[in-house]
Amino acid sequence: MVRWAEKNELPGLVAIELAADGLFEQVGIVFPPGTTQIEEVDDPGAVLVEGEPPVGFALVGWVDGNLHLEQLAVRPDNMRQGVGGRLMAAVIDHAAAAGAPAVTLTTFRDVPWNAPWYERHGFSAMGEAEWGPELRALVRHERDLGIEVAPRVVMHRAP
């Protein structure tokens, strides 16, 4: 069942993010060193989790008035069991309940479990002309951090 994280669960989510990120090595993507996204979170109200203990999480925030999916990670041994889909559905439901006009995200364009997976969940690519100032700054920040190690895409969908 998807629920909001508890504060004491945040440190344990680091291992999930690192394990999920490790899968990118299979397609030649190695992330630059540094902290994980979840390590920088101190508000459990920004993190949806599934499982006790959690086996996956979705980190959300607000960008240009839209709910923005900052990170979706599932423990590799729990993948292909619907965890990611349930987390995504909860993000979309939260966006609708909060009155967000859209859910946005940035992801790798050509990685099968990234852009193609989000497309199957109703997302489509956003042209740069559609980006608001905060989204534009976020993409620039990702590039500055070195995350643009393979072609990336900005995507959105209505809740």
For 136-159, the pLDDT digits (tens) are 999 998 888 777 666 889 999 998
The sign one gets for the Cα dihedral 85, 130, 30, 8 is negative
The CATH fold assigned to 2-157 is Aminopeptidase (3.40.630)
Q: What is the pLDDT of residue 45?
A: 94
Q: What is the pLDDT of residue 36?
A: 83
Could you tell me which residues come within 8 angstroms of residue 29 by beta carbon, excluding any fewer than 6 positions away?
Answer: 108, 111, 149, 150
Q: What is the pLDDT of residue 151?
A: 83
* Domain definitions of the chain by residue range: 2-157
| Upstream peptide bond of 133 is cis (omega within 30 degrees of 0) | no
Q: What is the pLDDT of residue 112?
A: 86
pLDDT class of 29 with cuts at 50, 70, 90: confident
Average pLDDT, stretch 102-121? 93
Cα–Cα distance for residue pair 60/121, rounded to 1 Å: 17
Model's pTM, two decimal places? 0.92
Cα–Cα distance for residue pair 63/46, rounded to 1 Å: 13
Cα–Cα distance for residue pair 40/55, rounded to 1 Å: 19
Q: State the chain's mean pLDDT as an integer.
A: 92
